[in-house]
Amino acid sequence: MRGAMLSRLILVLVLVVAVVLTVRSLRGCRADGPVEGDQPPAVAQADEPGTREPEAEEPVKVIEVAAPEAPADKEPPEEETPPGEEKTEAEPSAEKQAEPDDAEKPAVDPPEAPAAEELPAAPEDVEKAFEQAKKMLELKNRWEARRPLTTVYRFGAPEQRAEAKKLLDEINAALIFTPSETEGAVIHKVKKGENLTTIARKNGVYVQHIKRINKLQRDLIRPNQLLKIIPGQPSIEVDKSSLTLTLYLDGVYVKEYSVGTGKQDGTPEGEFIIERMVRNPDWYPPEGGVVKFGSPEHEIGTRWMGFKEKPGLRSYGIHGTNDPATIGKESTRGCVRLRNEDVEELYDLVREGTPVKIYKRANAGGD
């Protein structure tokens, strides 16, 4: 009897084990996710994206959240200017240029330019220079031909000087005063963020030089724009005997202008330095007082290039005029006078520190 009971007990245990194994086998094969009520442990959700804790079997993913951009039309607040101080503007970019007054200021502090080079004046040297220039012109080398032609202009006989001047004026009208002609020039390609002031500084010229050479009416330039620049040290010679002023660049002729000089030989001779340059200047006559620019009594025109004072010589310089009929005559109180359109062009091509030599040709070793 005991044997029968033991057999039944063993059969029951076998059945129980079989049922347990069958249930576990069914759970291990499930592929459609956890059944309802059989969820994995909950993971806390962060308030901000990118901070959810990943499950153990998955790689960590980092989500970057971009900061919101400021509205494009909102300008940053302007800084307050301390009392008693002038407000200064930030340097403009290539799209927005400096105000016209900036063109008055030197882009660089250049060393004093040398006077036009003294060259041999012997007739055979002048003839040799003329022949050299003609050969260069035959080879289309106009830029280099200007130097020997300058020798002829400065030291030749009157007919030689006249012929050299005609050739030089034709060459310079193209190579200096025509933006599209690039022979001998520096061509600057405007970069993003540049303006005329920064370009002038890089090339040792003034802003007005770049505007004059490129015939720019405004200060606005654009990236990739090509600008023509003629670098070099300017110098001026005034010949009282012919009532002319000649501009040189690195000792080479640029242009000759008719001038008025002092009555009764009143313009002092010697070497001077341009110390101060003023656009639309007020006039301070010798008898005292001040005549504002634009007044009918104003005599010195649209530009003033004042000389550095020397013992016994004060308030001399180069300026314009309100009376073009006085040009080509001894008509001034001692200064050198040009037509307004000429003095404006000259003003744009020189700088503070430019040397000026005033003489009569008979005293200069010429013809």
User: Do strands 252-258 and 261-262 pair parallel, antiparallel, or not at all (unpaired)?
Assistant: unpaired
Q: At what angle do helices 123-138 and 142-155 cross, to 10 degrees?
A: 160
* CATH for the 100-363 domain, from 3.50.50.60, 3.40.50.2300, 2.40.440.10, 3.30.230.10: 2.40.440.10
Please give the pLDDT value at position 256: 98
- Estimate to the nearest angstrom the gap between the alpha carbon of 158 and the chain centroid: 41
Give residues with Cβ within 8 angstroms of 151, minimum separation 6: 119, 120, 125, 126, 129
Contact, 362 vs 241, CB < 8 A?
A: yes
Report the run of H or E that residue 245 belongs to, with start and end: strand 244-249
Beta-carbon neighbour count of residue 50 at 10 Å?
10
Domain map (residue ranges) of the chain:
100-363
143's CB contacts (< 8 A; 6+ apart) are 171, 175, 183, 184
Among 155, 325, 350, CA closest to 255: 350
Taking the chain (367 residues) in runs of 10, the rounded mean pLDDT of each run is: 71 69 47 37 36 40 38 40 36 34 44 46 88 96 97 94 97 95 95 95 94 95 96 96 97 98 95 97 91 94 96 94 95 95 97 96 52
Kindly report the CA angle at 72 between 68 and 74, in degrees rounded to 5? 100
The reported pLDDT for the residue numbered 257 is 98
Annotated catalytic residues are 319, 335
- Sheet with 270-279, side-by-side order of all strands: 252-258, 244-249, 234-239, 355-359, 270-279, 303-307, 317-319, 336-337
Beta bridge pairs of residue 357: 237, 271
pLDDT of residue 24: 53
CA 170 to chain centre: 28
Give pLDDT, residue 14: 72
As a dihedral over the C-alpha atoms of residue 86, residue 90, residue 91, residue 97, rounded to 10 degrees, the angle is: -90
Q: Where are the alpha helices (DSSP H) in the chain?
A: 2-28, 123-138, 142-155, 158-175, 196-203, 207-214, 340-349
Question: For position 15, what pLDDT does the model report?
Answer: 75
What does the DSSP assignment read for 24-65? HHHHHT--S-PPTT-PPPP-PPPSSTT-PPPPTTS-------
| CA angle centred on 250, ends 249 and 253, rounded to 5° | 45
Q: Cα separation of 149 and 168, whole Å?
A: 7
